[in-house]
Amino acid sequence: MRVQVRGFSLWNAPEWVWRLLLSLLALFMAFALGGILLISIDVNPREAYSYLLLGNFGSVYSFTEILVKATPLMMTGLAFAFAYRTGLFNIGAEGQMYMGAIGAALVSLKLTGLPGWVLIPLALLTAMLFGGIWGGMTGFLKVKFGANEIITTIMLNYIALYFLNYLITDPLREASGGYVQSDTIAEQSFLPVLIPDTRLHIGFLIALAFIVIFYLILWKTPLGFQLRAVGFNRHAAEYAGVNVSRNLVTAMAISGAFAGVAGFTEVNGLLHRLIDNFGVGLGFDGIAVALLGNANPFGIVVSSLLFGLLRVGANAMQRGVGVPANVVYIIQGLTVLFLLAVNVLMPRIMRLVEQKRTQRPTTGERRLSA
Amino acid sequence: MSDGFLIALMAAAVRMAMPILYAALGGLFSERSGVVNIGLEGMMLVGALGGVIGSYLSGSAWVGLLVAMLAGGLLALIHAYFSITLKVDQVVTAIALNILAIGLSSFLFRGMFGITTIPVTVDGFSNYPVPVLSELPGIGQILFNQNILVYLGLLLVPVSWFVLYRTSLGLAIRSVGENPKAADTLGVNVVLIRYGCVIFSGMMAGLGGSFLSLGQFNMFVDNMVAGRGYIAVAAVIFGKYRPGGILVAALLFGVADALQVRLQAMGADIPYQFLLMLPYVVTILALTGLVGRNSAPAASGKAYARE
């Protein structure tokens, strides 16, 4: 048989191109529905969206703010995606992030005698350790007692939040006793700023490095192979001799460590102290980031940048046309919902594509896909 | 601690337990039918807003209550469509809905009332002492000098029990949650039961949300539910998927909350944060089966497809 199609044809595009197109469709539908809502309150959606999407490309500072916001989202997105690849739901990135922040802050507050090049990596490692323990605990409770990880992670979010609150109300309270927050961390533990007069710190590059680490662990190590096997089919993996229990705990620990890094970048890069409730919503936003990015490292980079853009753009929009910044949550929530719906359609669409590709649809298949 | 302190504390605890109790009783039905509903949080939030809008427009808190139930029910309908009809993951759907609810409630509130710094207050439910019973020493103040939504919430506990365990509808709900295939074979409409239970859970969560906005604060504040929906999910598990257990769980959360408010106000040198942690720790223990047996419905979280 002769190959019919010459040159580029959409029908020959691999599956990931279709996924990408459908993700864009989901985004478009979310924006469209958001636009209808804006019209309903007499706001011109074109004007509002130009503030939302383009409002932050005016100056270097406002552009770097996008990257600043994207940094923790990338890490909490990675955290969710890593567990997700192993077939687990880590809803606890927020708590793991708080534990990471506590770890990073403890090191950066107490070991003031150390030079920055020791202190910063140490803070990072401690944050990963704290977040990893918090995540690993969920894995342990799951394999040992069968405790559903979704609920345990949510519960552990609150426990971490109250623990953080306790630390800064009492043992780590700033020396002056003024606000409920810790002292400023040692100056040499501040993450260096990448561009002068902006808040963009090397935490952004660290997060990008973890994107690569995420990819390497999952696709280039035997451990990653096992983890993905467990995620693909837990029972089959067990049958093939994989220690599923150990892998589940490991996956949750690594996932928690990723989230812990978000705590580190926020404390050492941005806040320079422990503050109550500093990352509210970052955990859940990370889930949206991971889902939009299809739990794929490159996808997570793109979607975290997009959500970072929406987050800062929302403030520009609020200033510009008086629409509350929280509107981006509508777009974010709708995007995920449409994405889920589109994913349901995905197998059907791929079947249709397959038919077009072979150019010889049998009547039976055609009826199925109709 | 004086008696007066204890009575005031318990009365506050009962009040603070109510939003959780409503949402958790709704969540109980959803869970029992086999659909995990982490979306209670968002449904409470739109309920809180719905209550304020309804009460503002009509001048009647009762209309507010209806609007709250409608709002929660609508969000739950989306949850039902995605998790039952589309068979999408129930947790992910619910999280998307919770994110959506934060944006939507804030947007609609601003859309109606403009961006204002002066809080919009509406008619809410004030205390309605039950004749005779409210005169009882101690217990009268705690249970019978509350607003009408408290009485309704407490009444719904035995009603839920009765429906679940003493009616054929309850039997159908429980069987759908335990073994949908068998229930289907026996002629129970699995999809209909699940839709009904999820929508009911949204209406109850909406009621719980409106308790916050109409029964406690008489206004809407962005994200005012602040995690109570997740606590309700925990209360269902901690309460062992039974109405009585859920009441106990909700009261435990209420006591912890009421106590920490007072400890903070008194400036007591007790780390109240550990008190606040306690219910969450206990919930984890309940999940592990260390405190009694884990009793989740067998088909919980699984979409049902006929083969």
Q: What is the pLDDT along chain A (370 residues), one digit of tens a residue?
A: 444 445 556 667 777 788 888 889 999 999 999 999 999 888 899 999 999 988 888 889 989 999 999 999 999 999 999 999 999 999 999 999 999 999 999 999 999 989 999 999 999 999 999 999 999 999 999 999 888 898 899 999 999 999 999 999 888 888 887 888 999 999 999 999 999 999 999 999 999 999 999 999 999 999 999 999 999 888 899 888 889 999 999 999 999 999 999 999 999 999 999 998 888 889 999 999 999 998 999 999 999 999 999 999 998 898 888 888 888 899 999 999 999 998 888 888 778 877 877 765 444 444 444 3
Q: Do A91 and B91 touch (CB under 8 A)?
A: yes
A84 → chain B, closest CA residue: B92
Q: Do B107 and A326 touch (CB under 8 A)?
A: yes
Q: For residue B137, what pLDDT is reported?
A: 82
Determine the Cα–Cα distance for residues A108 and A106; give it in Å rounded to an integer: 6
Nearest to A92, CA basis, from A100, A237, B285: A100
Q: For residue A364, what pLDDT is reported?
A: 46
Q: Do A89 and B91 touch (CB under 8 A)?
A: yes
Give exposure, A337-347, as e/b (b: 16+ Cβ within 10 Å): bbbbbbbeeee
Q: Do B95 and A146 touch (CB under 8 A)?
A: no
Cα-based distances in Å from A145 to A245, A250, A262: 11, 16, 29
- On whether the CB atoms of residues B71 and B47 are closer than 8 A, the answer is yes
Determine the Cα–Cα distance for residues B123 and B145; give it in Å rounded to an integer: 19
The pair of structure tokens assigned to B189 is 């409409």
Q: Which residues contact A243 (CB under 8 A, 6 or more apart)?
A: none
- On whether the CB atoms of residues B145 and B129 are closer than 8 A, the answer is yes
> How far does the CA of residue A7 sit from the closest CA of chain B (Å)?
37
Cα-based distances in Å from A187 to A119, A120, A177, A179: 10, 11, 20, 20
B275 → chain A, closest CA residue: A162
Confidence check on the interface: ipTM exceeds 0.95, yes or no: no
Determine the Cα–Cα distance for residues A62 and A199; give it in Å rounded to an integer: 10
Reported pTM: 0.89
Q: Is residue B194 left, alpha or beta, with left meaning phi > 0 and alpha meaning psi from -120 to 50?
A: alpha
The stretch B63-86 carries a mean pLDDT of 96
- On whether the CB atoms of residues B288 and B297 are closer than 8 A, the answer is no
Query: Which chain A residues touch B37 with a CB distance below 8 Å?
Result: none
What are the start-end ranges of the H helices in chain A?
A: 15-40, 45-54, 60-85, 93-110, 116-145, 149-169, 203-220, 222-232, 234-239, 244-264, 282-292, 297-321, 327-358, 363-369
Determine the Cα–Cα distance for residues B244 and B165; give it in Å rounded to an integer: 12
- On whether the CB atoms of residues A128 and B276 are closer than 8 A, the answer is no
- Best of A33, A155, A157 to disrupt the B interface (most B CBs within 10 Å) is A155
Cβ–Cβ contact A150 with B under 8 A: yes
Cβ–Cβ contact A148 with B under 8 A: yes
The stretch B142-157 carries a mean pLDDT of 91
B38, B100, B276 ranked by CB distance to A330: nearest: B100
